[in-house]
Structure 1
Amino acid sequence: MQTPPTAKRIDSTREHHGDTVNDPYAWLKDPQDPETVAYLEAENAYTQERTEHLAGLRERLFTEIKDRTKETDLSVPTRKDGWWYYSRTEEGKQYRIHCRVAANGDTPPELPQDSSALPGEQVLLDGNALAEGHDFFSIGVFDISCDGNLLAYATDYAGNERFTLRFKDLTTGEDLSDVVEGVFYGGAWAASGDYFFYTTVDDAWRPHKVWRHQLGSGEDGVLVYEETDERFGTGIELSRSQEYLFCESHSKVTSEIRFLRADDPTGEFQVMGPGRRQGVEVSADHQGDRFVVLHNHGAENFTLGWTPVADTSQFNVLLEHRADTRLESVSAFADHLVVGLRRDGLSGLRILPTDGEARDVAFDEPIYSVHPDSNPEYDTSMLRLSYQSMVTPESVYDYDTATGELHLRKRKDVLGDYSPDDYVQHRDWATAADGTRVPISIVHRKGVERDGNAPCLLYGYGSYEHSIDPYFSIARLSLVDRGVVFALAHVRGGGEMGRAWYDNGKMLSKKNSFTDFVDCAEHLVEAKWSAPDRLVARGGSAGGLLMGAMLNLAPHRFAGVCAEVPFVDALNTILDPTMPLTVIEWDEWGDPLHNADVYEYMKSYSPYENIANTEYPPILAVTSLNDTRVGFHEPAKWIARLRHEAKGGPFLLKTEMEAGHGGRSGRYDAWKEEAFSLAWMLDQMGLAKA
């Protein structure tokens, strides 16, 4: 058996608030250093050798995912002006093909049984052709001009989320000569199609500048807004009505909106309302002679208001604040509003007609997820929405806001003999140490005995008010069909139970996220769903921080932990304002650089800082060399320190050398990576031969 790589230890001290700390693996930070690259490659070789016995299982899992997936498929077409837009996939090809057909009515065209191209199809962008010859490919901008004649699109071939912006003339199929390097996600067309607005990032990966590019000018663009406060990022979008451009600046807890008529692209943006107020978040859309505004001024769970376009100084109330209902989004249409909300841990939609009574869109499953889908048309009574549960595949509905009727347009095919009736989903509640009830969403195959013998995968996130709602997964079927119970721990720090749920899992209350997760694990054992030697945990990014921190609290509770792009060196990263996104993150974690209390608190939970000389379960850490959100060095340092200071394991590190935060970009490559992780987790559950 190959011995694990040994990372050299180099004394590298830091001093903060009178505290001197040695960081022996700080050298593992430079992706250009040949010694660092050699170390990562040695780790990959070791991981491959330690998991070689799973090669057959990995292949079976990949085949299961592939065989359950309809490889040649179409999305439901979306209407915009005179066209139906959609994308499709073809068997054997990694990426989507973006297309449109001319519209001949309000009902989406019938999808062919073989999911082939629709009659009269125009291919707008073929991801497979663009990706040819590259190991990684992603699209960061895909935006059609208001007249439907131009496409702005931006591509990334490294995974570092810096895109090259181009423009395609859809009447000729040819790219224009305009090329802009180094743009970020998103953008917006002016009404005329002569100008396109885009954003760029600074060295800390903060979107801080909005530019106006004039097509054919030969120049990248004119700077129209720069966000100088390092806590804030900025972005640009066009209202659904296509009448206004919104330039929004936002930190984790504060936002500010500027607006400009879309037919006056060289004009000056105006600040909406009273402007920036610390702790007040605002989002807006345009409807007729008013803006509709969602904000939390004096309303913890947000309230919905409106303000005249002519004078935005005062926000009037449309929906009052409710302590039991978190308002999350508002979308404006010609004769109604759609409000995304959350109550009792479930997402929901409320329709507010301009001349009628409010109506909620109702579903009858015990746990589910529903959100607005693509709705570019302004003057329509149809709302496109996306629905799924842990047993119901992703489903696209059109909801008639006038009659309340739901029209199922498409439910994702799951090939083979899948039937939702073969599975059970429900919600459990764990009790935290402080008495808080923490929801857990559970799915398993019928017939699984609740006797403490079932293997279980517990997933968690718990940061940024991001809710992990019940969702369907084809890949997850490969677990539950082997008898695995799958559970989602909706811990504090997420948004599942409203704004207070988030506030009680961030800053100086962050440890609630970690203890909640441990309490959920204990509940699953006490409720006879599983046992510690069959219970595996999984989380990624900020959920990877959750994995590392809860492991230091209760390593004996788990048979294994899969941590993906894990934020495990949190203190060192948040101490360094030159690191990507650090200053923006101070509103989430606190500022340990300038606040001694925050420093001590973060030091007490940061996974890298708190590894104990005790038995840890096997750990698989997965990362990517080009990740700009969580540096590869964080899991690399963490695994190296675990090997030196902890017992147990083995501790494995797997680094994608051509990928970013989301891992491999092609769908077949992504399935292979998922099969790798699933095989490892099944092995820790004792199901490697299943």
Structure 2
Amino acid sequence: MNQNNLPPTAKKEPQILELHGDKRIDNYFWMRDIENPEVIAYLEAENTYTEAIMQPTKMVQKQLYEQMLSRIKETDLSVPVRKDNYYYYSRTEEGKAYAIHCRKKDSLDAKEEILIDENKLAEGQEYFSLGVFQISPNHELLAYSVDTNGSERYTLYFLDLKTYKLYPESISDTYYSFAWANDNKTIFYTQIDEANRPYKLFRHQLATSEQQDKLIHHEADDSYFLSVGMTRSEAYIIMSIGSQVTSEAYYLDANTPTNSFAIIQPRIQGIEYEIDHHGDYFYIVTNDDAINFKLMKAPITSPSKENWQTVIPHRDDIMLSGISIFAKYLVIYDRRNSLPCATVRKFDTDEEHNISFPEPTYAFFEGSNPEYHTNILRFTYTSLVTPPSVFDYDMETNTRELKKEAEVLGGYEKAEYASEMLIATANDSTTIPISIVYKKGTLKNGENPLYLTGYGSYGYPSSATFSSNNLSLLDKGFVIAIAHIRGGTEKGRKWYEDGKFLNKKNTFTDFISCAEYLINQKWTSSEKLAISGGSAGGLLMGAVINMRPELFKVVVADVPFVDVITTILDTSLPLSVLEWEEWGNPNDKTYYEYIKSYSPYDNVEVKNYPNLLITAGLNDPRVKYWEPAKWAAKLREFKIDNNILLLKTNMGAGHGGASGRYESLKELAFEYAFIFKWLGINS
């Protein structure tokens, strides 16, 4: 290798970290100081090294980017959503990175009214993200918020849609949640603390100074997040306060916003609940004595727990995921046999029917349904072979109308590809679902390159969704697989419980079992296997390559959460205290020792590791840049192989990487080019 292409040196004076009588030596603790010019210089040196190593792939990156871009309909239009006498939609234009948000009054043939052009707001910004986008009940005002560095600290603005002039006030350090009151002049918003935790709820009157805002609630417990929203009935504003395992909710009549919020049920450790409204009742999804959740209702006049009445009892084999309430219908979302399902129930008769879906593995998401008095449920259906398809489902006639299927340019033929649900077996005989997609005619001969992903944390299921970008892999002979490992909720809430706290290692061994199964079934081989995961999925990547490095050829770890103990012991960081209810509190010696036994950074050893690409975001509030940076440095110190190790830090973005559709595609093309090069795939 050219001497100018050597990776930078990172080792400095060690920091000794001690807890429970255990001393951990951290040679790279110094990287946490973002004010230290040496830190920025080091990250830039790593980027220079990465750029040099990847220079021979520039043409492949360009080809992949152009290929992926060519499949996207750059000038496109979302399916309009009706609210009262307005139709709201967004559209994109060729060459522009961001969406344009519009509406039409009374008819889709009416003149277009542009509400927000994100491209104009993003001018001069290296990064741009739109947060809140909420129209007032009378459709005359727009509240929106923006983040221009990836820190997820949003500034809130108010736009008069009659004059298209901004109100004089703006509110900084706000979070995603927001609610209008029905008077069209009172709003509720959440503000974040230094650790990016939404901890205060304020009431604001338009055209007044932020200093005059009324503090409604200050959540002092660092393990709780605060949010606010409105019921679909538009009758109540709900303030929700929740940790990873405990909930508390308050309600306020949306017509009397200066009144005080009233509590639904005071928090009880370990009991979660969510609220919606219909008629004289609040409807409550809760895990109270119901691991897979159940549906209750309670009179608005006395909504506390002792008055809850059962609507849908707990079911051992079905997990209640949530509900959606309309004037005449209750829509029930659940998970059965590892798949999402939906049931429609009439309020007046309790008659119900299921919404069916045709494929062996798929994803289903409720769309935008702002109307309360309607028979139509909008949802999006997709699978590994079916592009996202927006349907309007008539809940009265049980019929559906396809409004739009995302167009894949360049002649995509769904019939050329196949998807399946496979079943692997874990070390403890637990069965693990695997969703796969491949081009028809693919042989199970052990010679296929295979791209395996997973997540397995926080109860988030890994959805089997379509991406036209996957075609750049599939058409090169790749098999793409998703491991539905413990730690998600694919097979119910217990699936999550069995992958957290002192069961966390199940997540990692499940993923390894899925990889072994795919190899044993001749879908691929270790020499052809690439794996990828981000955030907690990056933790997964770090854990499995410590445990079984020889099993994988190429690894991509995006913004990986790999320095688990050090991070969650630091309560000044975002999410740390909240994380104790996911991983365990390391101040407890039992949890400390268990977390230390799998924490990727703490378990780097002198041995061979796969080819590895690690990414980071300098402004990432969720996984601080120093976690991937420290991990890369420690891996360089210990690994004894000749495989490549690259660290790529986006110096102007956060957890989600680059903003804008073009820059995001370039980042993906870079990752695919890395995989191609070290799997030996010809471009």
Q: Is the 8 A contact 2:451 2:481 kept in 1?
A: yes
Query: What's the offset of the Cα at 1:103?
Result: 2.7
CA distance in 2, matches of 1:121, 1:240: 26
User: Which of 90, 93, 113 is equivalent to 1:90?
Assistant: 93
CA distance in 2, matches of 1:9, 1:544: 25
Matched, 1:347 2:340: yes
1:180-212 Cα shifts (integer Å, max 9, x gaps): 111111200011111111001112221111011
Matched, 1:74 2:77: yes
Following superposition of structure 1 onto structure 2, how do residues 218-617 of structure 1 map, counting pairs within 5 Å?
218-220=209-211, 221-272=213-264, 274-313=265-304, 314-356=307-349, 357-593=351-587, 595-617=588-610
The one-letter amino acid of 1:443's match is V
Which secondary structure state, in structure 2, belongs to the residue aligned with residue 178 of structure 1? Answer: coil
CA distance in 2, matches of 1:258, 1:152: 23
Which secondary structure state, in structure 2, belongs to the residue aligned with residue 193 of structure 1? Answer: coil
CA distance in 1, matches of 2:469, 2:37: 36
Which secondary structure state, in structure 1, belongs to the residue aligned with residue 595 of structure 2? Answer: helix
CA distance in 2, matches of 1:102, 1:288: 30
CA distance in 2, matches of 1:216, 1:453: 66
CA distance in 2, matches of 1:10, 1:418: 56
CA RMSD of aligned residues (A): 0.9
Which secondary structure state, in structure 1, belongs to the residue aligned with residue 356 of structure 2? Answer: coil
Query: What's the offset of the Cα at 1:174?
Result: 1.4
Q: Is the 8 A contact 1:191 1:262 kept in 2?
A: yes
Matched, 1:194 2:185: yes
User: Which of 201, 210, 216 is equivalent to 2:201?
Assistant: 210
CA distance in 2, matches of 1:612, 1:373: 47
1:284-304 Cα shifts (integer Å, max 9, x gaps): 111111111111111110001
Which secondary structure state, in structure 1, belongs to the residue aligned with residue 168 of structure 2? Answer: strand
Partner of 2:42: 39
Q: Is the 8 A contact 2:153 2:196 kept in 1?
A: no
Which secondary structure state, in structure 1, belongs to the residue aligned with residue 248 of structure 2? Answer: strand
Greater shift, 215-224 or 567-576, is seen at 215-224
CA distance in 2, matches of 1:522, 1:345: 21
Which secondary structure state, in structure 2, belongs to the residue aligned with residue 185 of structure 1? Answer: strand
What 5-or-longer segments of structure 1 have no aligned partner? 110-117
Count of paired positions: 675
CA distance in 2, matches of 1:680, 1:381: 49
Greater shift, 5-14 or 505-514, is seen at 5-14
Query: What's the offset of the Cα at 1:9?
Result: 2.3
Q: Percent identity?
A: 46
1:143-181 Cα shifts (integer Å, max 9, x gaps): 111111110001111110111111001111111112111
Q: Is the 8 A contact 2:499 2:506 kept in 1?
A: yes
The one-letter amino acid of 1:562's match is V
What 5-or-longer segments of structure 2 have no aligned partner? none
CA distance in 2, matches of 1:488, 1:461: 9
CA distance in 1, matches of 2:543, 2:317: 30
CA distance in 2, matches of 1:284, 1:680: 46
Partner of 1:114: none
Greater shift, 248-257 or 171-180, is seen at 171-180
Query: What's the offset of the Cα at 1:551?
Result: 0.5
CA distance in 1, matches of 2:347, 2:246: 29
CA distance in 2, matches of 1:419, 1:219: 54
Which secondary structure state, in structure 2, belongs to the residue aligned with residue 58 of structure 1? Answer: helix
Which secondary structure state, in structure 1, belongs to the residue aligned with residue 41 of structure 2? Answer: helix
User: Which of 642, 647, 656 is equivalent to 2:640?
Assistant: 647
- Structure 1: which 4+ aligned runs deviate by more than 3 Å? none
Which secondary structure state, in structure 2, belongs to the residue aligned with residue 427 of structure 1? Answer: strand
Q: Is the 8 A contact 1:385 1:397 kept in 2?
A: yes
The one-letter amino acid of 1:553's match is M
Partner of 2:140: 149
Matched, 1:48 2:51: yes
TM-score by length of 2: 0.98
The one-letter amino acid of 2:171's match is V
CA distance in 1, matches of 2:353, 2:366: 15
Partner of 1:113: none
CA distance in 1, matches of 2:244, 2:580: 8
Which secondary structure state, in structure 1, belongs to the residue aligned with residue 546 of structure 2? Answer: helix
Query: What's the offset of the Cα at 1:30?
Result: 2.2
Q: Is the 8 A contact 2:619 2:653 kept in 1?
A: yes
CA distance in 2, matches of 1:579, 1:29: 11
CA distance in 1, matches of 2:484, 2:357: 21
The one-letter amino acid of 2:259's match is G
Partner of 1:124: 115
CA distance in 2, matches of 1:32, 1:658: 15
1:305-364 Cα shifts (integer Å, max 9, x gaps): 111111113111111111111111111111111111111110111111112311111011
Query: What's the offset of the Cα at 1:56?
Result: 0.8
CA distance in 2, matches of 1:9, 1:350: 59
TM-score by length of 1: 0.97
User: Which of 605, 611, 618 is equivalent to 1:618?
Assistant: 611
CA distance in 1, matches of 2:79, 2:280: 32
The one-letter amino acid of 2:635's match is L
CA distance in 2, matches of 1:197, 1:189: 6
Which secondary structure state, in structure 2, belongs to the residue aligned with residue 684 of structure 1? Answer: helix
Following superposition of structure 1 onto structure 2, how do residues 98-117 of structure 1 map, counting pairs within 5 Å?
98-104=101-107, 109=108
Q: Is the 8 A contact 1:366 1:426 kept in 2?
A: yes
1:433-472 Cα shifts (integer Å, max 9, x gaps): 0010011000000111111000001001000000111100
The one-letter amino acid of 2:309's match is N
Query: What's the offset of the Cα at 1:219?
Result: 2.8
The one-letter amino acid of 2:52's match is E
Query: What's the offset of the Cα at 1:218?
Result: 2.1
CA distance in 1, matches of 2:6, 2:291: 54
Query: What's the offset of the Cα at 1:119?
Result: 4.4
Q: Is the 8 A contact 1:200 1:210 kept in 2?
A: yes
Q: Is the 8 A contact 2:147 2:154 kept in 1?
A: yes
Query: What's the offset of the Cα at 1:264?
Result: 1.0
CA distance in 2, matches of 1:250, 1:6: 43
CA distance in 1, matches of 2:579, 2:566: 13
CA distance in 1, matches of 2:240, 2:503: 28
CA distance in 1, matches of 2:118, 2:345: 38
CA distance in 2, matches of 1:93, 1:71: 8
The one-letter amino acid of 1:326's match is M
Partner of 1:166: 157
